[in-house]
Amino acid sequence: MYFENEYLDKIMTDVVKRNANEPEFHQAVKEVLESLEPVIEANPKIKECAIIERLVEPERIIKFRVPWVDDNGKVQVNRGFRIQFNSAIGPYKGGLRFHPSVYEGIIKFLGFEQIFKNSLTGLPIGGGKGGSDFDPKGKSDREVMAFCQSFMTELSKHIGAETDVPAGDIGVGGREIGFLYGQYKRLRNEFTGVLTGKGLTYGGSLARTQATGYGLCYFANEMLKAKGLSFEGKTVVISGSGNVAIYANEKATTLGGKVVAMSDSNGYIYDKNGIDLDCVKELKEVKRARIKEYITTHPDAEYHEGCSGIWTIKCDIALPCATQNEINEESAKALVANGVIAVAEGANMPSTPEAIATFQNAKVLFGPAKAANAGGVATSALEMCQNSMKYSWTFEEVDGKLHNIMKDIYKNCAEACAKYGMPDNLVAGANIAGFLKVCDAMMAQGIV
Ligand code: NDP
Ligand code: 2IT
């Protein structure tokens, strides 16, 4: 038994049965359905039109073989995925993840979350996600290119600037997007905005690189402001040291915070003087090195093996920016015991359900991923807009729009949860506000 509500319980039971062995997808669906209970009770048409049954079933799943040749001349085979989850409000939009842990369940959870996140941005983008179990770590540029060209050879049959527009996620940054774009252009002989996160010389948008991390801090700042607080003088811990984490650090610091810890999948660094972000950028963006190397140039800093220890560091604000389920109940309890006042999720689903409950019970301000990290995809939609217009805005213009979008997302989430009797519960607010627009569009378009 998942829910008291019979309709929701039947849907959840079916989701678990039809998507066996995909616990991350079950987790993402359960969280959304929990929030929607009062909305469904207030609107019987949702059940009559089978909106939820249709929402949890992807419109299309594409799964393919990706063969490529490594530097030793050996043929390698990976798996590629693209899940086109929901196109009710716009073309499918969402990133590509290259990581050895990728399987259908990971792409499904990410694609499902993306539907609501994209709706929250207020821009016309549907939900999709893709990726591969390919690991770019330790590969040469030529190997990454060979993989990307093979991956795009199949993917190109299914995407398009008005159909489905992929972007980056874990393991897919500027280098990978460049190789993917080059191959798409070569296969299709067209220069269109089929990917976002492109380089600035070939159709990319200023501020897209910064957008997820900056947007996360704009959102966190709204949560703090609503309680008369700010980043000023606060100690901040950020997990990860990739795209999202680096620019979250940059903006948190600009807003007056002091970031004392960051991590990668091997371990974390603690620098009581405040992390030297230029050093992290050099290590991660240029050298593709491990975070451990930070201590060779910063002897005052400490390095610890393992990821979860970072949550035992005393801080006021925690920004998980690495991966799913990186904060469990134990880590959440450690943060609460150390007096954390706000947690905002840069990564997708970084907190387990038990961790979220721990934060909410302790009255910690909690910004869920769908809302808090929506600045990345929102700016991707701004990139699509600029590509369509064959025009580009300045950094300040894009950043200004991003800032306003994040403020609006906060306001809409806060209002939605208050309206349904759950004030301050931004998890419920994000799920409800994201759902309502998609639901309305699905109803208007008939049974499709
Ligand atoms: P990157 O690949 O740039 O960085 C990922 C970071 O997280 C690295 O430091 C990586 O360490 C660490 N990490 C990845 N997987 C694990 C793992 N299994 N355990 C521990 N650490 C891990 O990715 P992004 O910064 O783009 O993405 C980070 C998170 O933000 C993801 O959850 C992504 O879905 C989410 N996100 C990204 C957006 C974007 O615009 N890029 C937008 C919205 C959300 P290592 O280098 O050792 O692997
Ligand atoms: O999870 C996400 O929102 C992303 N990885 C960004 C997607 C995008 O299309 O920019």
Q: What percent of the chain is modeled with pLDDT above 70?
A: 100
Query: Is 376's C-beta closer than 6 angstroms to any atom of ligand 2?
Result: yes
CB-based contact 30:113 (threshold 8 Å) = no
Break the chain down into helix, strand, coil percent, rounded to 5: 50, 15, 35
Region 379-398: what's the mean pLDDT?
Answer: 98
CB-based contact 197:228 (threshold 8 Å) = no
Q: Give the pLDDT of residue 325.
A: 98
Per-residue pLDDT tens for 50-89?
999 999 999 999 999 999 999 999 999 999 999 999 999 9
Q: Give the pLDDT of residue 149.
A: 99
Distance of CA 180 to the CA centre of its chain: 20
Query: Is 373's C-beta closer than 6 angstroms to any atom of ligand 1?
Result: yes
Phi and psi angles of residue 348, each rounded to the nearest 5 degrees, phi first? -90, 125
Q: From the options 3.30.70.1140, 2.40.10.170, 3.40.50.720, 2.40.50.140, give the CATH code of 210-372.
A: 3.40.50.720
* Architecture in CATH of 60-191: 3-Layer(aba) Sandwich (3.40)
Q: Give the pLDDT of residue 228.
A: 98
Q: Give the pLDDT of residue 87.
A: 98
Q: Give the pLDDT of residue 182.
A: 98
Q: What percent of the chain is modeled with pLDDT above 90?
A: 100
- Band of residue 388 on the pLDDT scale cut at 50, 70, 90: very high
Say how many Å lie between the CA of residue 304 and the centre of ligand 1: 19
CA distance 73 to 258: 48
Catalytic residue among 108, 129, 198, 258: 129
- Domain-wise residue ranges, the chain: 6-55, 60-191, 210-372
Region 383-389: what's the mean pLDDT?
Answer: 98
Burial readout 122-149 (b: 16 or more C-beta within 10 A, e: otherwise): bbebbbbbbbbbbebeebeeebbbbbbb
Per-residue pLDDT tens for 336-370?
999 999 999 999 999 999 999 999 999 999 999 99
Question: 210-372: same fold as 60-191?
Answer: yes
CA distance 373 to 367: 9
Question: What is the strand order of the sheet 60-69 is part of?
Answer: 60-69, 75-86, 126-132, 92-98, 164-167
Q: Give the pLDDT of residue 412.
A: 98
383, 385, 387, 390: CA torsion to nearest 10: -130
Q: Give the pLDDT of residue 394.
A: 98
Region 220-234: what's the mean pLDDT?
Answer: 98
Query: Is 244's C-beta closer than 6 angstroms to any atom of ligand 1?
Result: yes
- Band of residue 24 on the pLDDT scale cut at 50, 70, 90: very high
Ligand 2 pocket check: which of 114, 123, 159 to mutate, most ligand atoms within 8 Å of Cβ?
Answer: 114
Say how many Å lie between the CA of residue 169 and the centre of ligand 2: 6
Mean pLDDT of the chain: 98
